[in-house]
């Protein structure tokens, strides 16, 4: 087994990954911006905001593999933040190479490729990236900085581009959706005929664990998803069942839905619920001989149950 550094260890994905890697027998060191709640079996080391001046000494000694999850700190402008994140990634790669780290796995996002697809026309890892928002452009810039640093140092880089990650304790838009479903309010989404790729946190952790050691992962850009893509009505019905609530869906004309998308706060969530965004991870499954171990039905039920129990 390996000695692994996980950056961003205090986050939603980071905590789950640390636990999963320990369960697989790895020795895990976790770094975070600030002191974090203990994770059984994990040595946690605060490092502050990660940037181009970060001192990684003491964090990389004896480390064989780095899993880089840490995202940008809040900054005054997107361009400054993107540049800082890309530069920080380069510094991490060069620091890691000097201490003998052999592989760095970077958690990017499918949004580095774009934010929408036509139903049945999923994104493939070989497609030209066309990010459509600042977040996606920043992710792509960091990927390219890492790939350039890999050529300079010889370190193996693995880039993962997951779609939306869900699971117990998930926050942001997915938690907002569960709140809406739990409220019992009727939702105007019955007529949505889209397809979205998602990935359950346990499936992502399993894939990262595989990518840490599998020789077929080296140098690859890997897409990932659950075993099946879902429409928004299907997603809501699964969540409603897990929340023990009725799925109250109704149809509205498309012009009315377009008007609702203009409502502040509601608009961005509605846009993501009505558009398709699919990823084709066939290359990942073949290269790493991997299949997601948990079905969407089970993953969504566990996510909804955890939300229900905490509410």
Question: Which residues are catalytically annotated?
Answer: 135
Residue 95 corresponds to which tokens in the numbers above?
């620091």
Indicate the burial class of 191 (C-beta count within 10 angstroms; 0-12, 13-18, 19 or more).
Answer: middle
Asked if 7 and 66 count as a contact pair (C-beta separation under 8 A), the reply is yes
Q: What are the beta bridge partners of residue 222?
A: 160
Closest CA to 249 of 237, 263, 238, 261: 237
C-alpha span between 161 and 93 (Å, rounded)? 19
Give 86-126 as a DSSP string. HHHHHHHHHHHHHTT--EEEEE--GGGT-S-B-TT--B-TT
How far is the CA of 261 from the CAs of 198, 252, 269, 274, in angstroms? 22, 13, 8, 10
CA 247-250-254 angle, to 5 degrees, is 135
Q: 251 Cβ partners below 8 Å, 6+ apart?
A: 188, 190, 191
Report the alpha-carbon distance of residue 53 to residue 85 in Å, rounded.
11
What does the alpha-carbon distance between residue 256 and residue 266 come to, in Å, rounded to a whole number?
Answer: 14
List, in sequence order, every beta strand (DSSP E) within the chain: 3-7, 27-32, 42-46, 65-68, 103-107, 156-161, 164-166, 198-200, 221-223
């Amino acid at each position: 087994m390996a000695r692994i550094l996980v950056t961003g260890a205090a986050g939603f994905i980071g905590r789950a990954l640390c636990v999963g890697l320990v369960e697989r027998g790895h020795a895990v060191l976790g770094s975070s911006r600030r002191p974090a709640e203990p994770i059984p079996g994990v040595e946690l080391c605060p490092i502050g905001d990660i940037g181009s001046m970060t001192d990684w000494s003491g964090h990389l000694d004896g480390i064989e593999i780095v899993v880089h999850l840490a995202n940008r700190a809040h900054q005054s402008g997107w361009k400054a933040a993107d540049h800082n994140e890309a530069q920080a990634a380069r510094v991490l790669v060069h620091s890691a190479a000097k201490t003998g780290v052999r592989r760095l796995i970077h958690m990017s996002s499918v949004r580095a490729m774009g934010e929408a697809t036509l139903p049945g026309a999923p994104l493939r890892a070989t497609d030209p990236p066309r990010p459509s928002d600042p977040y996606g452009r920043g992710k792509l810039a960091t990927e390219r900085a890492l790939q350039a640093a890999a050529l300079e140092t010889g370190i193996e880089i693995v880039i993962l581009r997951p779609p939306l990650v869900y699971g117990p304790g998930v926050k942001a838009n997915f938690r907002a959706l569960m709140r809406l479903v739990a409220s019992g309010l009727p939702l105007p989404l019955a007529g949505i005929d889209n397809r979205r790729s998602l990935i359950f946190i346990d499936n992502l952790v399993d894939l990262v664990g595989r990518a840490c050691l599998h020789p077929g992962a080296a140098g690859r850009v890997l897409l990932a998803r659950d075993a099946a893509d879902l429409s928004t009505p299907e997603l809501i019905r699964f969540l409603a069942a897990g929340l023990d609530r009725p799925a109250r869906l109704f149809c509205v004309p498309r012009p009315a839905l377009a008007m609702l998308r203009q409502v502040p706060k509601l608009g961005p969530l509605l846009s993501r619920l009505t558009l398709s965004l699919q990823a084709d991870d066939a290359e990942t499954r073949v290269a790493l001989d991997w299949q997601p171990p948990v079905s969407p039905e089970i993953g969504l039920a566990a996510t909804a149950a955890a939300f229900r129990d905490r509410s």
